[in-house]
C-alpha cells in the first residue's frame, strides 16, 4: 500500500476468497491502496477485516452500496458471483468508479456490453481480473512466438486448465450454481484457456467454434467439464479442455512451423512467490546443437524474473490507467475491454455449441 | 543378430528408410536375424545391402516374391506403402511367413481384416510396427496410471504428434499420395496418438469419435493435418492433433482425478540411445511436500532404464512369439492383432467423420 496521496483508492465489493489476494496485492502495489470493503452484512465485512489484518483506516461497509457511495473510492474490485456482475459493475460505473472486474466478466456478451457501455458513458476504466497476462513472462513468451526465424508461423494451440475441488464443492459451491457462477467450469477455468488461445493469435477471433461432445453438466445444467476446438480461416486451429473433475493443470502448448512453446503453469507460475516464471521453447534452429544421444534438442528453459507478482502487476497497471484518466491525460484505455469482450464472445460460442448439441458456431 | 540356429530369420520387403532401422534392430536382437531383403529391382536391393553393410549371408532379391518364396524365411517385416499392405501381408501369410507390419497397418479396417484372416487361417503371428509400446517406460507409465491412490480415475487424455518435413515432402513424398500412403498425416502420425489414447484406457474403444473441423487435405484429398475428440460413456474424453505442418511434438498428457502423467517424447524417448526414458507424474498426494514458493509440487520425474532400445524390444517380442508358434507351444497371440485393429477402427472413424463434414461417428 502506498501512503502517497496520489495512490488510487480501491473499494472491494464482497469478501470472497479472491478478495484476500487482492487485499495483499493492494498492500504491496506502489500506486494503489485499499480504502474500503463492503459485504452484504457489516458483521461479515468487519470479521473479514479483522481476520485478514486490514489497516484500521480501511472503511468497512455492510452493503456494496456503501462502498459505491463513498466518494473517496476511486476504483472498485468486483469479485462477486458472475450473475451479479452486470448489476454491480454498472452501478459502480454510474457512480464513476473505475471497474476491475473478476473473471468471468459476465454471464454472456450482452451483459458485458451493458457493463462496457456504462463504463464508456461514465468515462471510467474497465479491466478484467485475468492476472497472468500482466506477468513479464507473458511478454517474453509473446516475443518468442513473434520470432519468425525460431518459431515460424503459428499452426496450433492447445490449452488445458483443470482442478478437482471435490464432491462438497460440486454440491454446494457458488461456482456450480446457475444463478451465481452459472458458467461453471467454462467460466472459472475455460476463461483462462480461451484467453491464452486468443493471446497466442494476437486476439484474432476464430471463424468457428465447436464444443467437444461429452461435456459434463450438473443437474442444474451448469458445466462441470467441457472443451472445444476453434478454427481460423488460414488453417490455424486450437483446442482446450477445462474441468472441475481432474487434477490441477495449467497447460499451454503453442505450435509453429519451426518451433514450439510450452508451459504447465501459465495462469500462475510455479515459482511465483520466488519472483520468477519459466517457460519451455524449442526450435528446429537448435538441431545443429543436438546433444549426443538425443533424437532432437531438449527444449530451452527460459527464466523470466519479476519484481512484483502478477496480482500486484495487474493492480499497478490498472491503477496507472485510472490515475491517467482521472488526470485527464487520456480517455479510458480501450484495449482491456476489447480483450475481455473477445474472450466472452468465444466463451459464449462454446456454451452455445454445447446447447445446440455440439453444432459449430460461426463467429 | 544372433548366429544361434534358433534365431528367427527375417525377410524385409522393400528398402524404405525404416528398413534401415529394422536391419539394425535385427543385428542386435538376441533371437532374430536378417535373412533376406527384397526390392522391386535387384539393383536397388543390392545397393541397399552394400550401402548399409548388410552381412554377405543376407540374401538379396529383385522382387518381394523372392523373399516370400525363400523357404528359410520365418517372418517378414513389411514397411511398404500402406496401400500395398493388404496384398503383401496376405501373400506373406499364405506362404506361412509371420507378419510384422509397419503402421498404419492398412487403408481401412476391411483391408486389415483380410490380413488378419489370412494370418489366422495360416497360423502365423501378426504384430504391427508400433515400437513405443515395447519400451519398459510404457509399462512403468501404465503402473502409474493404475495407481488409484496417486492417479485416481482417468478423466481425459490429450496427444499430439506432429512434424514438419517441408514443401518437397508435401509435394512428392509417398506419404501424401492417395494410392500409396493414402491416410497421410492421420496414418503416419495420428496412428500414434490414437494408440496412445487407447493404451491409456486399456484399449476400450470410445463410444463416439468427432473430427475437428478444419482438417487440412492436399489437392488429392490426403490428410495433411487433422485432429479429433473421442468420448466414452462414463464421461472420459480424449483429443488428439496430428500434422505434417508443425514443429516436431510427441506429446501425451493423461489426467486423472488425483494425478497427471505427462511426456513430450512418447513415441521415441529423447534419451533412447542413452538407454533410458523419462516421464513426468504428479499427484495431489504430494501436496504435503510443496517446496517453499511453489503453488503446487513440481511433477516427479521418473527415469526408466532399458537394456535394449524399443525397436530391438519389438523385434525380440515378435521373434519370441514366432518361435513359440513354430514350436507348437502356442497358437498365434491374439492380443497384438486386436490392438492393431482397435487402432485402425478409431482411425477409420476419424477419417469418416472428416469425410462426413465433421459429423460424429458412433462405434
- Considering the domain architecture, whether residues A88 and A183 belong to the same structural domain is answered as no
CATH number for the domain that contains residue A267: 3.30.360.10
Please check whether residue A257 lies inside any domain of the structure: yes
CB contact A306 to B (< 8 Å):
no
Cell of A162: 483443470
- pLDDT tens for B243-301 read 999 999 999 999 999 999 999 999 999 999 889 999 999 999 988 776 667 788 888 99
CB A274 within 8 A of CB A282: no
| Cβ-based contacts of B363 with chain A (< 8 Å) | none
Q: What is the pLDDT of residue A194?
A: 98
Please check whether residue A1 lies inside any domain of the structure: no
Please check whether residue A264 lies inside any domain of the structure: yes
| Cβ-based contacts of B245 with chain A (< 8 Å) | 155, 235, 257
Q: What is the pLDDT of residue A231?
A: 97
- Considering the domain architecture, whether residues A29 and A74 belong to the same structural domain is answered as yes
Q: What is the pLDDT of residue B296?
A: 82
- Considering the domain architecture, whether residues B217 and B356 belong to the same structural domain is answered as yes
Pairwise CB contact (< 8 Å): A158 & B241 = yes
| Cβ-based contacts of A256 with chain B (< 8 Å) | 246-247
| Chain A: closest CA distance from residue B20 (Å) | 16
- Helical residues (DSSP H) of A128-259, grouped into ranges: 136-145, 148-151, 167-172, 184-185, 191-200
CB contact B235 to A (< 8 Å):
yes
The average confidence (pLDDT) of chain A is 95
Query: What value, to the nearest 5°, has the Cα angle with vertex A290 and ends A285 and A292?
Result: 175
Number of domains in chain A: 2
- Is the pLDDT at A3 greater than 80? The verdict is no
Q: What is the pLDDT of residue B288?
A: 76
Instruction: Identify the burial level of B329 via C-beta atoms within 10 angstroms of its C-beta, where 0-12 means exposed, 13-18 middle and 19 or more buried.
Output: exposed
Pairwise CB contact (< 8 Å): B229 & A231 = no
Residue A270: strand, helix, or coil: coil
CB contact B249 to A (< 8 Å):
yes
Assembly ipTM:
0.94
Name the pairing type of β-strands B249-256 and B237-243: unpaired
Which residue matches cell numbers 512466438?
Answer: A145
Determine the Cα–Cα distance for residues B37 and B47; give it in Å rounded to an integer.
11
* Strand ranges in B163-248 using DSSP code E only, listed in sequence order: 208-211, 216-217, 223-231, 237-243
Instruction: Identify the burial level of B172 via C-beta atoms within 10 angstroms of its C-beta, where 0-12 means exposed, 13-18 middle and 19 or more buried.
Output: exposed
- Considering the domain architecture, whether residues A119 and A184 belong to the same structural domain is answered as no
The count of CB pairs under 8 A between chains A and B is: 178
- Considering the domain architecture, whether residues A30 and A47 belong to the same structural domain is answered as yes
| Chain A: closest CA distance from residue B214 (Å) | 6
Taking residues A93-117, report their average pLDDT.
98
- Considering the domain architecture, whether residues A159 and A274 belong to the same structural domain is answered as yes
- Considering the domain architecture, whether residues B161 and B263 belong to the same structural domain is answered as yes
Please check whether residue B136 lies inside any domain of the structure: yes
- Considering the domain architecture, whether residues A148 and A119 belong to the same structural domain is answered as no
Which residue matches cell numbers 480461416?
Answer: A233
Which residue matches cell numbers 495433411?
Answer: B224
Pairwise CB contact (< 8 Å): A214 & B237 = yes
Torsion sign across C-alpha atoms B284, B290, B295, B299: negative
- Considering the domain architecture, whether residues B16 and B145 belong to the same structural domain is answered as no
CATH number for the domain that contains residue B60: 3.40.50.720
Higher pLDDT, B201 or A296: B201
- Considering the domain architecture, whether residues A167 and A204 belong to the same structural domain is answered as yes
CB contact B246 to A (< 8 Å):
yes
Which residue matches cell numbers 454471464?
Answer: A107
Please check whether residue B191 lies inside any domain of the structure: yes
CB contact B261 to A (< 8 Å):
no
Digit-by-digit pLDDT tens for chain B (363 residues) are: 555 678 999 999 999 888 899 999 999 999 999 999 999 999 999 999 999 999 999 999 999 999 999 999 999 999 999 999 999 999 999 999 999 999 999 999 999 999 999 999 999 999 999 999 999 999 999 999 999 999 999 999 999 999 999 999 999 999 999 999 999 999 999 999 999 999 999 999 999 999 999 999 999 999 999 999 999 999 999 999 999 999 999 999 999 999 999 999 999 999 998 899 999 999 999 887 766 677 888 889 999 999 999 999 999 999 999 999 999 999 999 999 999 999 999 999 999 999 999 999 999
* Closest-approach residue (CA) in chain A for B275: A293
- pLDDT tens for A192-204 read 999 999 999 999 9
Domain boundary among B103, B130, B157: B130
Confidence of residue A2 (pLDDT cuts 50, 70, 90): low
Q: What is the pLDDT of residue B23?
A: 93
Within 10 angstroms of residue A221's Cβ, the number of other Cβ atoms is 11
Domain boundary among B130, B158, B186: B130
- Is the pLDDT at A4 greater than 80? The verdict is no
Largest CA distance in chain A: 68
Pairwise CB contact (< 8 Å): A360 & B213 = yes
CB B56 within 8 A of CB B27: no
Chosen from A167, A214, A245, A360 to mutate, greatest number of chain B CBs within 10 A: A214
- pLDDT tens for A168-191 read 999 999 999 999 999 999 999 999
CB A74 within 8 A of CB A9: yes
CB contact B167 to A (< 8 Å):
no
- What residue numbers bound the domain in which B79 lies? 8-130
Using the 8-state DSSP alphabet, how is residue B360 labeled?
-
- Considering the domain architecture, whether residues B109 and B178 belong to the same structural domain is answered as no
Please check whether residue A3 lies inside any domain of the structure: no
CB A13 within 8 A of CB A63: no
Taking residues A143-161, report their average pLDDT.
98
Determine the Cα–Cα distance for residues A226 and A190; give it in Å rounded to an integer.
8
Domain boundary among B130, B161, B177: B130
- Considering the domain architecture, whether residues A279 and A171 belong to the same structural domain is answered as yes
| Cβ-based contacts of A217 with chain B (< 8 Å) | none
Please check whether residue B40 lies inside any domain of the structure: yes
Q: What is the pLDDT of residue B229?
A: 97
Pairwise CB contact (< 8 Å): A246 & B358 = no
Question: To the nearest whole percent, how much of chain A has pLDDT over 70?
Answer: 98
Out of B214, B283, B299, the one facing A235 most closely (by C-beta) is B214
| Cβ-based contacts of B155 with chain A (< 8 Å) | 225, 243, 245-246
CB contact A304 to B (< 8 Å):
no
Confidence of residue A209 (pLDDT cuts 50, 70, 90): very high
Torsion sign across C-alpha atoms B120, B190, A265, A181: negative
Please check whether residue B316 lies inside any domain of the structure: no
Enumerate residues 42 to 71 of chain B having a beta carbon within 8 A of any beta carbon in chain A. none
Enumerate residues 274 to 303 of chain A having a beta carbon within 8 A of any beta carbon in chain B. 274, 282-284, 292-296, 298-299
What single string gives the DSSP state of each residue in B252-270? Answer: EEEEESSEEEEESBTTS-T
| Chain B: closest CA distance from residue A6 (Å) | 32
Amino acid at each position: 500500500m502506498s501512503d502517497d496521496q496520489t495512490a488510487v483508492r480501491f473499494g472491494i465489493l464482497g469478501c470472497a476468497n479472491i478478495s484476500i489476494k487482492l487485499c495483499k496485492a493492494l498492500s504491496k502495489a506502489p500506486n494503489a491502496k485499499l480504502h474500503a470493503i463492503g459485504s452484504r452484512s457489516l458483521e461479515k465485512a468487519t470479521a473479514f477485516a479483522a481476520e485478514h489484518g486490514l489497516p484500521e483506516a480501511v472503511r468497512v461497509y455492510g452493503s456494496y452500496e456503501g462502498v459505491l457511495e463513498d466518494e473517496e473510492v476511486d476504483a472498485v474490485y468486483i469479485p462477486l458471483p458472475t450473475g451479479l456482475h452486470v448489476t454491480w459493475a454498472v452501478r459502480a460505473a454510474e457512480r464513476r468508479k473505475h471497474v476491475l472486474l473478476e473473471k468471468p466478466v459476465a454471464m454472456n456478451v450482452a451483459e458485458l456490453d451493458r457493463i462496457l457501455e456504462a463504463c464508456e458513458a461514465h468515462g471510467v476504466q474497465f479491466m478484467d481480473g485475468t492476472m497472468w497476462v500482466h506477468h513479464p513472462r507473458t511478454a517474453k513468451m509473446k516475443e518468442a512466438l513473434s520470432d519468425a526465424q525460431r518459431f515460424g508461423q503459428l499452426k496450433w494451440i492447445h490449452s488445458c486448465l483443470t482442478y478437482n475441488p471435490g464432491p462438497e464443492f460440486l454440491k454446494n459451491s457458488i461456482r456450480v450454481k446457475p444463478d451465481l457462477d452459472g458458467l461453471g467450469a467454462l467460466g472459472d477455468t475455460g476463461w483462462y484457456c480461451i484467453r491464452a488461445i486468443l493471446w497466442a493469435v494476437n486476439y484474432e477471433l476464430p471463424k468457428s467454434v465447436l464444443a467437444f461432445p461429452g461435456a459434463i453438466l450438473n443437474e442444474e445444467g451448469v458445466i462441470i467439464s467441457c472443451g472445444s476446438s476453434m478454427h481460423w480461416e488460414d488453417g490455424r486451429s486450437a483446442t482446450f479442455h477445462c474441468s472441475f473433475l481432474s487434477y490441477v493443470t495449467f497447460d499451454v502448448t503453442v505450435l509453429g512451423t519451426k518451433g514450439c512453446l510450452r508451459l504447465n503453469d501459465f495462469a500462475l507460475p510455479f515459482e511465483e512467490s520466488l519472483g520468477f516464471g519459466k517457460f519451455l521453447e524449442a526450435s528446429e534452429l537448435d538441431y545443429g546443437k543436438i546433444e549426443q544421444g538425443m533424437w532432437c534438442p531438449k527444449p530451452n528453459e527460459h527464466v523470466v524474473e519479476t519484481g512484483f507478482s502478477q496480482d500486484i502487476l495487474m493492480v499497478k497497471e490498472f491503477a496507472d490507467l485510472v490515475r491517467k484518466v482521472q488526470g485527464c491525460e487520456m480517455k479510458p484505455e480501450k484495449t482491456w475491454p476489447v480483450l475481455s469482450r473477445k474472450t466472452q464472445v468465444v466463451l459464449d460460442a462454446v456454451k452455445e455449441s454445447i446447447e445446440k448439441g455440439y453444432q459449430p458456431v460461426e463467429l
